[in-house]
Amino acid sequence: MNDLVITNISRIVSGDIAAPFVDGDTVVVRGGLIAAIGSAAAVDRSGIDHVIDAAGCQLWPGLIDSHTHPVTGDFTPRQQTVGFIESGLHGGVTRIISAGEVHLPGRPKDAAGTRALAIVAAKAWASYRPGGVKVLGGSVILEPGLTAADFAYMAQEGVRVVGEIGLSGIYRPEDARPMVEWAHAHGMVVMMHIGGASIPGSSVLGAREALAILPDIASHTNGGPTAAPLADIERLMTESQMMIEVVQAGNTRRVGEIARLAVQHNVLPRMMIGTDTPSGTGVIPLGVLRTMAWVASLGEIAPELTVAMATGNTARIYRLNEGMLRAGAAADMILVDTPVGSEAQDALATLALGDTPAVAAVIIDGVVRVNVSRNTPAATHRPRIPWLAAGGH
């Protein structure tokens, strides 16, 4: 069932940082795509029997975790944890982006092996959705010996992302820059590790290296887990067009400093939010929501803009038809609310306080995947989903 109507929405947050709100209280979904947004009296809801009463909750795009390290299936050997992706679904995450399957035990580091791993992971994640979560996986880790022909072949076989440069044997500008050019020639998005070393074998990289290599994304600028110097991050904002990513598994104070710099230099459309998990920091199912709260409260950023940083901004760089609530986009959405006992008046105000909003429902491609999160606090308002209450799907 991919057709439904959501009514009685208190506020629709678009995910578009240039226009963060959409007028209306009703959303119509047909065939898993958003068909219409507006007032209940103005939209065409004919022929749709499944109606969700949002009961005054806000509607946001499904959150996109811009920085994860999956391996195979919904299991992470780094933390010996099963089900971490599905658990993140209960934190409002409907899509994750792999920064490289670097935690695979015995990961091959020759050209043939690293190419094969990227292709296998890209194909597997294209077919497997834990709990319904979409995974953009198979992010190739750069290793010595990869050629231009390898990038052409990987792109042909579905590899769309270069995992964060700096986790492997290729990190010097003279080695990495040619590979970045080959990747860009085939439409790949390139990530780069910024900050102190993370896993054994990774490198310390900052503005000098990034400005020579020119990736698309400066990953975990607040640390993965050790933050880069603030002056380096400011250089990336002012001397490049890179996306500036902040994550949960990094330096908390630095998130606020980076957010304020982003306002100063007018680069909020280039900000993106992820978790950088699973990692040594652990598995954090509410990591995207928590990082949004850090940006809003410590950086004093309007909370609706942090929603865009965790949705539309990331979707734009990866060319995904999701992350924004607009006609024709995938119906990946979450109903969110003030948690019970909060002094905030709504979900956005909860972020501004630095608290975690309540996830009341999660919808992917028009299908309700979560009806009451098991990980967030309970919502003050309870959406009504009649067919689930009756035992349907």
Q: Please enumerate in sequence order all residues whose Cβ is within 8 A of that of 391, keeping only pairs 6 or more positions apart, or say none.
A: none
Contact 321/328 with Cβ under 8 angstroms?
yes
Q: What is the pLDDT of residue 306?
A: 98
Integer Cα distance of 126 and 382 in angstroms:
33
Q: What is the pLDDT of residue 128?
A: 97
Average pLDDT estimate for 144-151 = 98
Integer Cα distance of 62 and 41 in angstroms:
25
Question: In a 10 Å sphere around its CB, with 0-12 CB exposed, 13-18 middle and 19+ buried, how is residue 230 labelled?
Answer: middle
Looking at per-residue pLDDT, the higher value among 273 and 167 belongs to: 273
Share of the chain above pLDDT 90, in %: 94
First to last CA, the chain: 8
Integer Cα distance of 98 and 115 in angstroms:
15
Q: Which of 129-138, 192-201, 209-218 has the lowest mean pLDDT?
A: 192-201
DSSP-based three-state secondary structure for 186: coil
Residue 207 structure tokens: 């503005």
Helices (H), ranges, the chain: 84-89, 111-127, 148-156, 173-185, 207-213, 230-239, 252-264, 287-298, 303-309, 312-318, 347-353, 386-389
Per-residue pLDDT of 23-37, as tens digits, reads: 999 999 999 999 999
Helices (H), ranges, 35-166: 84-89, 111-127, 148-156
Q: What is the pLDDT of residue 197?
A: 72
Q: Is the pTM of this model over 0.85?
A: yes
